[in-house]
Structure 1
Amino acid sequence: MLELYTHPMSPCAQKVRIVLAEKALQWTPHHVSLQDKENLEPWYLQLNPLGVVPTLVHEGRAVIESSIICEYLEDAFPGQSLRPADPWKRSRMRFWMKHVDVKLHPACGTIQWPMVMRPALMAKPEEERSAILERIPEKPRRERQKRLVAHGLDAPDVADAVHTYRKTILEMEEVLGRHPWMVGDEFSLADACLAPYFQTLHQFDWTELFERDCPRVSDWFARCQGRASYQQAVAGDFPEETLADLRARGATAWDKISAHLDAA
């Protein structure tokens, strides 16, 4: 039995859900409210000491960290493989997965978190807000979220986040000039792990980051969106009313994002 502790807007959870859909695996969802900080409750920290989503539970045992979960699913359910057979291509797949974990995910959190998580925290009394932030287990993430709560998109982290996105997009544009998917002719874990971070740009209508001059990336993302796995695992969680709300929020913040984009 597979269970997934997840949240609709978490890119890390989205990439695992894409892999589950690509492999046609049945699973039971458990929604974790990030806005209400259920991820920092003792019951969840027992399951995932890092206090993040997703967490996969397979036969009663927890697997944490989204890229590790994706590889675990490949090992446990080898049918419909999303890993290239060629060792060099597999190394490139893991390069992009690591790039997502180390660079793109923190950048995404920096620009998305003030848009969707900060408002609920700002509505709380300062003492309660501070106590919640102090419960974040990892110091770098804790300190970054403190800055984002204090300053929103004016936090010093935001410029670097936009630059990281832009640099990633330009690198992808070059790679996609050689083959249709990130490591070759077939959709792989590299594509599954990257695509959710473009969903973030899509939902806030910030797609100018890649549409302005990266047609290969635009085409790649459109093909990702067109896959049945993406429709099932990601798009279904963003009905029109949800997208309209997110795009309205994105419109109010675009001047700040675009200022960093122009400076990138």
Structure 2
Amino acid sequence: MLTLYHYDRSTAAQRVRLLIEEKGLEWNSVIVDTARGDVDQLPENYHEMNPKGLIPVVENNGVGIAESNVILEYLEDAFRDTSFRPDSPEDRAMMRLWMKRIDDGVHVASRTIGVCIVNRFIYLEQGQEKIEKYHAHMRDLERRDNDQVNISMGLESPLLPGALRTFRGLFEDMNARLVEHDWLAGASYSLADIALVVYLRRMESFMMAPLWSHMIGLTDWYERIAARPAYQKAVVDWGDITADKRTEHGTGAFETIAALWKEAAA
């Protein structure tokens, strides 16, 4: 049986849970909340499975698989009864191009936005000693360096405008595709949709949905995915222990974020 190392609100974990539920797989849950800096909870062999020490990791047949998009492809290869890859080579290439955008800047931008709006307050509440310990164990040096800037500067971070520009560009490109097509790659729901829908959920949780409410293709696509039973089980039912803070700080940040979002169109 699969074992998934994850936590509730992680976008990377959400996409893996979403595919697991779409495929109807049985799995064991191990909560590793790295977002709260709880490095002491990592299993002893965790860095063998994922050298970065991050989640998610899927363990199956004695092997640990890291990196959420790699995990999605692994699950497709390992459990073939249902497929979420398009049929044609051309559509599969399109699927992978959409997914590639995550590693080409979208995921880093997502973390910048989250830390600047909300997570900095969570870290600061835990004290400087725990923050320093967390960063000392962090093996992704770009993540560490970005965090240090974003925690200290918040909405004034020089990294925030670029992150919002990345997200606005992504959402606009997705909307342009989805105005004309039901799904991002080919004629059916695929790994591309599973991989990217979690970022709308994340931004929505920060109270930012009005920024793209006029993007009809994108909003309709999101509503259709959110109505799927697997989405309910994989995302909604897991909840978010930081939900109240996201609502509070997201509401307080909206005016600033909206102004930066508008500037990103220039």
| Mapped partners of 1:173, 1:130: distance in 2 | 40
Cα distance 1:244–1:141, how it changes in 2: closer, same or farther (>3 A)?
Answer: closer
1:13 paired to 2:13: yes
Contact kept, 8 Å, 2:179 with 2:218, in 1: the verdict is: no
Offset of residue 64 of structure 1: 0.4
After superposition, where does 1:32-47 map in structure 2 within 5 Å?
A: 32-39=32-39, 41=42, 43=44, 44-47=46-49
| Mapped partners of 1:147, 1:171: distance in 2 | 29
Q: Which moved more, 1:28-37 or 1:79-88?
A: 28-37
Task: Please name the residue that 1:256 is paired with.
Answer: 256
Contact kept, 8 Å, 1:166 with 1:261, in 2: the verdict is: yes
Contact kept, 8 Å, 2:179 with 2:216, in 1: the verdict is: no
Q: Deviations over 1:17-38 (max 9, x none)?
A: 0100111111011111224423
Contact kept, 8 Å, 1:82 with 1:188, in 2: the verdict is: yes
Task: Please name the residue that 2:110 is paired with.
Answer: 108
Task: Please name the residue that 2:174 is paired with.
Answer: 172
| Secondary structure of the structure 2 residue equivalent to 1:8 | coil
2:193 corresponds to which letter in structure 1? D
Task: Please name the residue that 1:92 is paired with.
Answer: 94
Task: Please name the residue that 1:22 is paired with.
Answer: 22
After superposition, where does 1:180-259 map in structure 2 within 5 Å?
A: 180-211=182-213, 213-238=214-239, 243-259=243-259
2:60 corresponds to which letter in structure 1? H
Cα distance 1:10–1:39, how it changes in 2: closer, same or farther (>3 A)?
Answer: farther
| Mapped partners of 2:247, 2:123: distance in 1 | 21
Q: Deviations over 1:83-106 (max 9, x none)?
A: 011000000000011112222111
| Mapped partners of 1:262, 1:109: distance in 2 | 20
After superposition, where does 1:75-86 map in structure 2 within 5 Å?
A: 75-86=77-88
Contact kept, 8 Å, 2:19 with 2:194, in 1: the verdict is: yes
Offset of residue 124 of structure 1: 4.2
1:139 is aligned, of 124, 138, 141, to 141
| Secondary structure of the structure 2 residue equivalent to 1:238 | coil
Task: Please name the residue that 1:121 is paired with.
Answer: 123
| Mapped partners of 2:195, 2:84: distance in 1 | 11
Offset of residue 107 of structure 1: 1.2
Gaps (5+ residues) in structure 2? Answer: none
Q: Which moved more, 1:156-165 or 1:97-106?
A: 97-106
CA RMSD in angstroms, aligned pairs only: 1.9
| Secondary structure of the structure 1 residue equivalent to 2:34 | coil
Normalised TM-score (structure 1)? 0.93
Contact kept, 8 Å, 1:181 with 1:187, in 2: the verdict is: yes
| Mapped partners of 2:139, 2:43: distance in 1 | 12
| Mapped partners of 2:229, 2:126: distance in 1 | 40
Normalised TM-score (structure 2)? 0.92
| Mapped partners of 2:43, 2:152: distance in 1 | 26
| Residue correspondences, number | 262
Aligned-residue sequence identity (percent) comes to 32
